[in-house]
Chain A
Amino acid sequence: MACQCFVDIMDYLRLNLPGALDGVLEMEISNTLDEFLSKTNAWVERLPVRVRPGKYDYIIKPASGLMVRLLGVGGADPDIWVPAAMHGLDTLSFRDDPGVTETWTAHVVVKQSPNAGLESIPEWIYENHRLAVQHGVIGRMMTQNAKPYSNERLAIYHMRKFLALTAQVRAERAQQYLYRGQVWNYPQNFARGTQR
């Protein structure tokens, strides 16, 4: 059962794209979310990793979706990252021997699996990023050739809006959604100049 926000998005897309088929809209929603989630790091899952002394590599898998990249691994102190990287998109590899038996937390960026369908995407993504999804889908649909809704000029407009919203979410995600988070971390008294 689709959430109300998804239903609203579909209605908005239909009225902006006369003649578009629902199957094609859903395909482009999937493509748009693939790009959006890959670029913004908006969907993060925290995966518990049971580490053991002498074992460097661990297979990890998010509960739903596909892993895009590793943000970091919180060790015994979850606020301090442990040096780690991914070997492929399923093997977490630590630089150093964990040395203890305990549960650490891997923070991984996730996007939807193409096999799971749009139902696998959490509702909050549609609710929080509705505008980005709408602009992205309309822009992509309008770039299609020889369709009733083909429109090169409007495609450019909508893709610009989509990219601007994507950049905004990526920046806010990088600052942990903290207003003026960068300023708080680096007091302005230490600034050596301005950006102007």
Chain B
Amino acid sequence: MALETVADYITEARRLLQDTRAPYRFPDTDFIAALNNGVMETRRTRPDLFLRVPTPPTYSSVATNAVVACDVQYRLALLYFTCANVQLADDETEQDARSAAFDAMYRAKLITLG
């Protein structure tokens, strides 16, 4: 199944950001930091996704094969947040618009039927 592990998220995020060829524009650590931010933000917005999980999990670059604890229905939302958060660090005007678009898609998937 797609989007199971941290590495899956990095691969998919690189594809959406068109950063698939080395040398990469964004290092893996950026994606992992963004993924961790996404987990924290999702915990705030949709606490039901972390039912009976008192502390949201964090991921690191030493274990990219770790499974990301997220229900299959909301993995795409978490991927969109990862893309948005990585692009937010990019100091380019046109990147801000793409970041905002990814962020809007993330929020729409979490709280609406969109």
- Chain A interface size, as a band, is 10 to 19
With both beta carbons as reference points, the residue of chain A lying nearest to B46 in the complex is identified as A147
Q: Is the interface of A mostly helix, strand, loop or mixed?
A: loop
Q: Is the CB of A19 within 8 A of B73?
A: yes
Interface check A21, CB cutoff 8 A: yes
Q: Is the CB of A148 within 8 A of B51?
A: no
Interface check A24, CB cutoff 8 A: yes
Q: Is the CB of A146 within 8 A of B51?
A: no
With both beta carbons as reference points, the residue of chain B lying nearest to A149 in the complex is identified as B113
With both beta carbons as reference points, the residue of chain B lying nearest to A146 in the complex is identified as B111
Q: Is the CB of B48 within 8 A of A21?
A: yes
What chain B residues lie within 8 Å of A147 (beta carbons)? 46, 48, 111
What chain B residues lie within 8 Å of A19 (beta carbons)? 73-74, 113
Q: Is the CB of B48 within 8 A of A148?
A: no
B38 to chain A, nearest CB (A): 17
Interface check A187, CB cutoff 8 A: no
Q: Is the CB of A148 within 8 A of B113?
A: yes
Interface check A18, CB cutoff 8 A: yes
Contact with A along B31-56 (1 / 0, CB 8 A): 00000000000000110110110000
The CA-CA distance from A147 to B110 in the complex, in Å, is 7
The CA-CA distance from A124 to B93 in the complex, in Å, is 62
What chain B residues lie within 8 Å of A148 (beta carbons)? 110-113
What chain A residues lie within 8 Å of B110 (beta carbons)? 148
What chain B residues lie within 8 Å of A18 (beta carbons)? 113
- Residues of B in contact with A (beta carbons under 8 Å apart): 45-46, 48-49, 51-52, 71, 73-74, 110-113
Q: 25 A-B residue contacts at CB 8 Å?
A: A18-B113, A19-B73, A19-B74, A19-B113, A21-B48, A21-B49, A21-B51, A21-B71, A21-B73, A23-B48, A23-B51, A23-B52, A24-B48, A24-B51, A27-B51, A146-B45, A146-B111, A147-B46, A147-B48, A147-B111, A148-B110, A148-B111, A148-B112, A148-B113, A149-B113
- Residues of A in contact with B (beta carbons under 8 Å apart): 18-19, 21, 23-24, 27, 146-149
